[in-house]
Structure 1
């Protein structure tokens, strides 16, 4: 089996064929406990896993894979089978299947879809603000994390940034991790996608004007304002995260306590 080095914090796993793959463990809660490693993983799409990547990934104890992509995205770049893991594809809210979100390897699809112009900062912030509510993906996510036998959980979308970014924030907030730490985890995506974004930008550069490139960078970046839009929307509607988790997902104080008892150390 190939050896995979990890970054100093032990969180990022630099697979050859998959970007932005990392363990969500190790984060400290407001009460001084820490999220256990090996329970929650996040990543970009898994279609590019090499045989060596897959061999290593299967040592992580993944029991459940939640795919937030639309069915068309998943069909175009299907996940490989992961031994011992159940796979569920539940599209996240308000994703237009005609927009080639996961087609960043195809210049033709990007240009045909008008993606760089469409995905500006304001549009993305608005997208984030809608994601936390009435979302079947996150309903399922919050149910799965309450079942110890379904963990380790690997959840992902196309780049592991937007849909996965909000899902990851919800997991960490439910475990009592402070907002600033949740934001730090979100911003690690800029590191996880750096080489991928640079390569695609180089391919697109001959086809786009300066404004198009600026829009493309805004689309690919994890910006604090994006996640803040989701968190502000939650607090604006419910007043607190506890109220949000209880009313959106039935995560009462008792259930949150049980969740934290298992997932924290």
Structure 2
């Protein structure tokens, strides 16, 4: 079996057939504990995983795969079966975001939008601001992380950047990881997608004008203003993350304590 050395800084597991695959463990919390490794993983789409990738993946102890893509995306590029893991596909879009708009966010359609100038930073920031509310996929995520028998949990979308980026932020915030570290984890996506982005750009650059090139750069980048749009919207609506977790997901202070007691370790 091919050896896959995890980068200790980025936590990236360098699979040949999946981009931006990383362990979310190791982050220090506000109370001085640390998120355990091997409980939470995030990734881009898994369709291209090679045989050797899968052999290694099976050693990670994945018990749950939560796919944020909508049904059409998942049908076009289905996840491979992972032995011992339960697969769930719950599209990540907010209750007040039209389904048609949410379903336009496949990788191919986003790249096409970049070429026509149809997508850009303002669109993405607005999308992020809506994601944390009334979102069935994140409700399921918050339920799953409270069930130790369903961890390790692997959650993913197409690029592992937007829908997975917000989902990852919610996991880390629920565990008491400070906002600055949550942002750091989000921005590591720029490293996790670097080779994929370069490959796509080399293929489509000759057909892009300056406006389309800027649009491509916008949709493929993890920018602080994107995640901040989601975090600011939470604080504006609820006043605090604690109130948000309790009112959106029923994660009371007691439940947060129980979650942290299992998922965190003393340094």
Give your verdict on TM over 0.5: yes
Counterpart of 2:263 in structure 1 is 263
Tell me whether 1:61 sits opposite 2:61 in the alignment.
yes
Counterpart of 1:84 in structure 2 is 84
**For residues 60 and 128 of structure 1, what CA distance do their matches in structure 2 show?**
30
Aligned in 2, Cα 1:152/1:77: closer, same or farther, shift over 3 Å? same
Counterpart of 2:236 in structure 1 is 236
Counterpart of 2:198 in structure 1 is 198
TM-score (norm 2): 0.94
Deviation (angstroms), 1:98:
5.3
**For residues 136 and 116 of structure 1, what CA distance do their matches in structure 2 show?**
31
2:70–2:103: 8 Å Cα contact kept in structure 1? Answer: no
**For residues 206 and 9 of structure 1, what CA distance do their matches in structure 2 show?**
35
1:69–1:158: 8 Å Cα contact kept in structure 2? Answer: yes
1:1-51 CA distance string (max 9 Å, x none): 111122133711000010000000000000000000000000000000000
**For residues 115 and 148 of structure 1, what CA distance do their matches in structure 2 show?**
44
**For residues 51 and 9 of structure 2, what CA distance do their matches in structure 1 show?**
25
SS for the counterpart of 1:15 is: coil
Q: How does 1:139-158 map to 2 (within 5 A)?
A: 139-158=139-158
1:40–1:154: 8 Å Cα contact kept in structure 2? Answer: yes
Deviation (angstroms), 1:115:
6.0
Q: How does 1:122-161 map to 2 (within 5 A)?
A: 122-161=122-161
**For residues 222 and 114 of structure 1, what CA distance do their matches in structure 2 show?**
15
Counterpart of 1:99 in structure 2 is 104
**For residues 7 and 182 of structure 2, what CA distance do their matches in structure 1 show?**
19
1:11–1:22: 8 Å Cα contact kept in structure 2? Answer: yes
TM-score (norm 1): 0.95
1:114-168 CA distance string (max 9 Å, x none): 6662220000000000000000000000000000000000000000000000000
1:81-134 CA distance string (max 9 Å, x none): 000000000001146365252237xxxx943x5666222000000000000000
What's the RMSD between the two structures over aligned residues? Answer: 1.5
Aligned in 2, Cα 1:125/1:222: closer, same or farther, shift over 3 Å? same
**For residues 39 and 236 of structure 2, what CA distance do their matches in structure 1 show?**
30
1:53-74 CA distance string (max 9 Å, x none): 0000010000000000010000
**For residues 133 and 151 of structure 2, what CA distance do their matches in structure 1 show?**
24
- Residue ranges of structure 1 left out of the alignment (5+ in a row): none
